[in-house]
Amino acid sequence: MKKIEFNQIYNVNCIEGMKSIAKNKIDLVITDPPFAINFKAKKANYNRISSRVISGYNEINPQNYYDFTFGWMSEVYRILKKSGSMYVFSGWNNLKDILQAIDDVGFITVNHIIWKYQFGVVTKKKFVTSHYHCLYVCKDEKARRFFPFSRFKKEDKNEKGRSLHYKDKEDVWEINREYWTGDEKTPTKLPSELIKKLLEYSSKKKDIVLDPFLGSGQVAVISKSLGRQFVGFEIVPDYYKFAKKRLDQNIYRIKKSN
């Protein structure tokens, strides 16, 4: 593997890619790993027309999920700065493996955030799943950076006189799913509003942001739009090409929160 450069993305396995990054180099990791739930990537739901969804989604066997997670998290731990943080998204199905790997690798859990989106898949024999887990972890609790008033000032109030920064920092977030437009898309995408929030609380301009499972390129795209450096790895060639196209087009212009 050639030397990794920042503000670039790579069509390689993330562990191979991360091995080419020097230790203690990355400021922030935001990632949404494979689900390991036999995800139907081509299924025509969430307003997706299956013929427009790019093929190649790479799934993990649930029996191997802990080993898979421990492997990539170990490399993240090596290259993350002491002051750095990581946000890992997960459904509930294999959450236990992610939580166990976080502890075994040596990360410290800061928060367990719940992302409540606007709807889930209709069910007949159980409750509807309409949330996602986000594990906020770090290497060193004393060195970890967090910018509590990056989005709202301490004195900012809403129309009812309640603190805006307090509400914004509660650990249950209601953020709508973001739907694709155009003829080409990947199966999943985190909302730009969600990624923007994480970037603003846990990084500053010129910080290096990594996504080991790049997918559509959303983390890299939003990082670039907010003046962060970025690097990402995607094993599926067509997803990589799609993400690179989005980065080259500079499609996002993010407004300030306040």
| Model confidence pLDDT, tens digit, residues 115-157 | 998 777 788 999 998 899 999 999 999 999 999 999 999 899 8
Give a yes or no: residue 255 inside a domain: no
Give a yes or no: residue 258 inside a domain: no
Tokens of 253: 């212009």
How many domains would you assign to the chain? 1
Non-local (6+) Cβ contacts of 101 within 8 A are 66, 69, 70, 73
Between vectors from CA 36 to CA 52 and to CA 174, what angle results, nearest 5°?
70
Please check the confidence at residue 199 and state whether its pLDDT lies above 90. Answer: yes
Tens of pLDDT, residues 68-105: 999 999 999 999 999 999 999 999 889 999 999 999 99
Give the model's pLDDT for residue 60. 73
Q: How confident is the model at residue 45 (pLDDT cuts 50, 70, 90)?
A: very low
Decide if 230 contacts 195 (C-beta within 8 A): no
**What whole-number percentage of the chain has pLDDT above 90?**
68
Please check the confidence at residue 214 and state whether its pLDDT lies above 50. Answer: yes
Q: 């190649």: which residue's tokens?
A: 56
Q: Rounded to the nearest 10 degrees, how much is the dihedral formed by the CA atoms of 72, 74, 77, 80?
A: -40
Give the model's pLDDT for residue 159. 86
Give the model's pLDDT for residue 3. 83
Give the model's pLDDT for residue 34. 87
Give which of 1, 13, 15, 21 is closest to 230, Cα–Cα.
Answer: 21
Give a yes or no: residue 256 inside a domain: no
Report which of residues 62 and 38 the model is more confident about.
62
Tens of pLDDT, residues 146-192: 999 999 998 998 888 888 989 999 999 999 887 755 555 444 679 99
Give a yes or no: residue 213 inside a domain: yes
Report which of residues 184 and 237 the model is more confident about.
237
Instruction: Tell me the residue range of the domain where 12 lies.
Output: 8-249
Give the model's pLDDT for residue 46. 37
Q: What is the C-alpha to C-alpha distance for residues 15 and 12, in angstroms, rounded to an integer?
A: 8
Q: What is the C-alpha to C-alpha distance for residues 219 and 190, in angstroms, rounded to an integer?
A: 8
Please check the confidence at residue 55 and state whether its pLDDT lies above 60. Answer: no
Give a yes or no: residue 1 inside a domain: no
We report the CATH number of the domain holding residue 68 as 3.40.50.150
Cα–Cα distances in angstroms (integers) from residue 209 to residues 95, 152, 202, in the given order: 23, 22, 10
Which letter, b or e, does each residue of 166-178 get, where b requires 16 or more Cβ atoms within 10 Å of its Cβ? eebbeeebebebe
